[in-house]
Amino acid sequence: MKNYTSYCFDLDGTVYRGSTVIPEAREFIHFLRAQGIRPFYVTNNAKMTQQQIYEKLSGMGIELERDHIMTSAIATAKYIAKYYPNETAFIIGETGLYEALEQEGIPIVEDHAQLVVQGLDTTLNYEKMELAGYQLQNGAKFIATNGDLKIPKERGFVPGNGSLVRLLAEVSNVEPISIGKPEPHMLAALQETFQLEKSRMIMIGDNYETDILAGIHFGIDTCHVNTGVSPTEQVRMQKLKPTYYVQTLEELKNFFE
């Protein structure tokens, strides 16, 4: 295994499952920190703020730096600040998305916006979708934090942000720019923010369709861990393959010996 300096971990299914930490992941993160490596955390979750995720991981016994957390909301805000500076935004989303845009100084408006920015909003109502649709039909650009179609819960799957994004896209006939994994924007934002050496970055995750493809699209090495969404046997059948496969992150310690 190469001598990586920037380990980028997916969260749900890789570091934890819901509210339960994956012990092997916690131990491997502890191991990396003992080697002087400070990992990064890359999540499509746009609902939670950086502070909320920091508190969740800290509560699971994981030591980390708060600014090493990259959410799709933060990446979306950075993307807008870079490519659409000073343009106004109408938001569908929760605290994480509002806070991210506010920190980048993006003007948030209630109507007649230049951008419609959509993240998962569990309190969303028909009126807000209707208002977003009108603005898209009147020329607003469409940016989605991520395109996840569904989210696993205890009783089954529920609609993810991507399902509601598709609804608005079909109604308005405007295709969104998607920021979260499998797009490379979050990894690009980390590289730019921390001046990371791209050849020494690695993306680690359980979901082939988001985590692994994000790393491949960005052009860095990847590691699939068999603790979440995508079973190893299915990942091995894909045309574009990860650099490494492990059953749990405990196995990665062996590469350091």
Domain made up of 84-178: CATH architecture? 3-Layer(aba) Sandwich (3.40)
* CA distance linking residue 181 with residue 214, whole number of Å: 5
* Chain segment 93-148, per-residue pLDDT in tens: 999 999 999 999 999 999 999 999 999 999 999 999 999 999 999 999 999 999 98
Mean of the pLDDT values across residues 175-190?
A: 96
Domain chopping of the chain, boundaries: 6-44+181-256, 84-178
Q: Tell me the one-letter amino acid at 118.
A: Q
pLDDT bracket for residue 151 (50, 70, 90): confident
Where on the phi/psi map is residue 13: left (φ > 0), alpha (ψ -120 to 50), or beta?
left
Same fold, 6-44+181-256 and 84-178: yes
Confidence at residue 243, expressed as pLDDT on a 0 to 100 scale: 96
* CA distance linking residue 119 with residue 192, whole number of Å: 23
Confidence at residue 257, expressed as pLDDT on a 0 to 100 scale: 63
238 token code pair: 């894909």
What mean pLDDT is reported for the chain?
94
Going by DSSP bridges, is the β-strand pair 115-118/89-92 parallel, antiparallel, or unpaired? Answer: parallel
pLDDT bracket for residue 197 (50, 70, 90): very high
Options 3.90.1300.10, 3.40.50.1000, 3.40.50.2300, 3.40.109.10; CATH of 6-44+181-256: 3.40.50.1000
Question: Is residue 152 pLDDT above 80, yes or no?
Answer: no
Instruction: Report the Cα–Cα distance between both ends of the chain, in Å, rounded.
Output: 10
64 token code pair: 């980390």
pTM summary value: 0.92
In angstroms, what CA-CA distances link 117 with 29, 43, 64, 80, 133?
33, 18, 29, 10, 12
Confidence at residue 108, expressed as pLDDT on a 0 to 100 scale: 97
